[in-house]
Amino acid sequence: MRALRLKEWKSEPVLEEVPRPEPGPGEVLVQVGAAGACHSDLHLMHEFEPGTLPWSPPFTLGHENAGWVHTLGEGVTSLTVGQAVAVVGAWGCGTCERCLDGLETYCERPDLAPVPGGGGGLGLDGGMADYLLVPSARHLVPIPDGLEVVDAAPLTDAALTPYHAVRRSLGKLGPGSTAVVIGVGGLGHLGLQVVKAITAARVIAVDGRESARAQASALGADLVLAPGPDTATRIREACGGRGADVVLDFVGSDETLATGAACVRQLGDVTIVGLGGGTLPVSFFGLPYEASVQTTYWGNRRELVEVLDLASRGLLHAETTIYPLEDAVSAYRDLAHGEVTGRAVVVPNDTFTA
């Protein structure tokens, strides 16, 4: 089968032929219908050094995956061959307290996990291939009616990550509240939709690109701003001088973090989602009283079920640019150059083959 492999740190991936895996007991072989290309993959290719992570190449890229059940390992009875499924990307040990609560992103026994702190496409072979071996049926979620495989794949990260972030602050997003979405890109345009779909909050979107601001308006943002020296002031003014209840930063640069800290309300949340490499100095008088600064990582299986349900009802949709598997290297190149509209999605197979 074909697979897009990262052979070593600080290198470009290579499309090559590898043996098709066979599922063992409890495992499932998925025929991949779509795999999202994520900005975090670019960090893997271009920035990480040996020893940065507890795992290393070689492995097949692709941690946003969906497809069809192809082969069931011994003992798997909860799925059927040909069933359309989305893949939960984080693969924990399944036995620690966090995993038993469904929070495999925060597995506390990495020594028992298939790969510590990772999963398919993150240390283990991912979905940029014709087939993906999933180590447990619990990592698969049936795709509901009304949602296609190619549309479900990017939701497993690009929608799940902002959904998890919004749910953490759900109690602060009631009627009369305001959420600020900084960065309306691959994750941010879905984060904006999540806020509109599951909360009563007004949404203020901030982005330096005119096209992104136009998209934010089309998605229902109540106010759209370009970043600048007066952005935080304008946000506070729009909130009646109080500031925003929740700031979701999908960029994570020094500038965006500073904006979030300057516009958040007392008792509000600043949630850092983006990997922009910025820092935010925190001191007693550096933030409004009892404002919280928090990071977030991905989401869990239960939340993915909810995300797919929202998408099947037309409340969430990822704008995508489609590439065949043979053009996957070009997908990452376009992503690095900022030439992708929405999410880049690689399609190894467009129909199920028994």
Residue 354: the pLDDT is 84
Confirm if 312 and 146 have CB atoms less than 8 A apart. yes
- pLDDT of residue 138 exceeding 90, the answer is yes
- Pairwise CA distance, residues 125 & 144, whole Å: 26
**Average pLDDT in the 237-258 region?**
97
Is the per-residue pLDDT at 174 higher than 90? yes
Contacts 24+ apart (CB under 8 A), 217-221: 219/184, 219/189, 219/192, 219/193, 220/192, 220/193, 220/196, 221/181, 221/184, 221/192
Burial per residue of 150-168, b for 16 or more beta-carbon CB atoms within 10 angstroms, e otherwise: bbbbbbbbbbbbbbbbbbe
Q: Are 112 and 96 in contact (CB under 8 A)?
A: yes
Two tokens at 97?
A: 């307290």
CA torsion angle 223 229 232 235 (round to 10): -20
Mean pLDDT of 223-235: 97
User: What is the percent of the chain where pLDDT is above 70?
Assistant: 100
Confidence band of 52 (pLDDT split at 50, 70, 90): confident
pLDDT at 287 over 90: yes
Give the model's pLDDT for residue 121.
96
Give me the mean pLDDT over the 275-299 stretch. Answer: 93
The yes-or-no verdict on residue 341 having pLDDT over 90 is: no
Question: What is the pLDDT confidence band of residue 49, given thresholds at 50, 70 and 90?
Answer: confident
Residue 29's pLDDT band (cuts 50, 70, 90): very high
Confidence of residue 188 (pLDDT cuts 50, 70, 90): very high
Q: Would you say residue 157 has pLDDT above 90?
A: yes
Mean pLDDT of 208-224: 96
Residue 39, pLDDT score:
86
Mean pLDDT over 333-347 rounds to 91
pLDDT of 135 over the 90 cut: yes
The DSSP annotation for 120-154 comes to ETBEE--SSBSEEEES-GGGEEEPPTT--HHHHGG
Q: What confidence tier does 318 reach under pLDDT thresholds 50, 70, 90?
A: very high
Q: Alpha-carbon distance 87 to 80, whole Å?
A: 15
Residue 317 pLDDT greater than 90, yes or no = yes
| Residue 51 binned pLDDT confidence (cut-offs 50, 70, 90) | confident
pLDDT number for residue 31: 98
Provide the 3-class DSSP secondary structure of residue 319.
coil
Preceding amide of 57 cis, omega within 30: no
From residue 24, alpha-carbon distances to 27, 60, 74, 136, 141 in Å are 5, 19, 7, 10, 19
Architecture of the structural domain at 2-157+299-347: Alpha-Beta Complex (3.90)
Look up the CATH number of domain 160-295: 3.40.50.720
Torsion of CA 295, 9, 186, 148, to 10 degrees: -110
DSSP E strands, 194-316:
202-206, 223-225, 244-249, 264-272, 292-295
Residues 336-344, mean pLDDT to the nearest whole number: 88
pTM to 2 decimal places: 0.95
Q: How confident is the model at residue 7 (pLDDT cuts 50, 70, 90)?
A: very high
The residue extents of the domains of the chain are: 2-157+299-347, 160-295
Q: What is the pLDDT of residue 201?
A: 98
Nearest to 348 by CA among 25, 82, 20, 31: 31
Residue 106 per-residue DSSP state: G
- Please report the pLDDT score of residue 232 as a whole number: 97
Q: How confident is the model at residue 218 (pLDDT cuts 50, 70, 90)?
A: very high
Closest by CA to 219, choosing from 248, 190, 239, 241, is 190
- How crowded is the C-beta side of 266, counted as CA atoms within 13 Å? 5
Rounded (5°) CA angle 199-201-203: 115
- Mean pLDDT across the chain, nearest whole number? 95
Measured CA distances, 251 to 94, 146, 266, 272 (Å): 32, 32, 22, 8
* Mean pLDDT, range 138-145, rounded to an integer: 97
Residues paired with 28 in a beta bridge: 72, 134
User: For residue 109, what pLDDT is reported?
Assistant: 94
DSSP 67-101: EEEEEEPTT--S--TT-EEEE--B---SSSHHHHT
CB 172 within 8 A of CB 246: yes
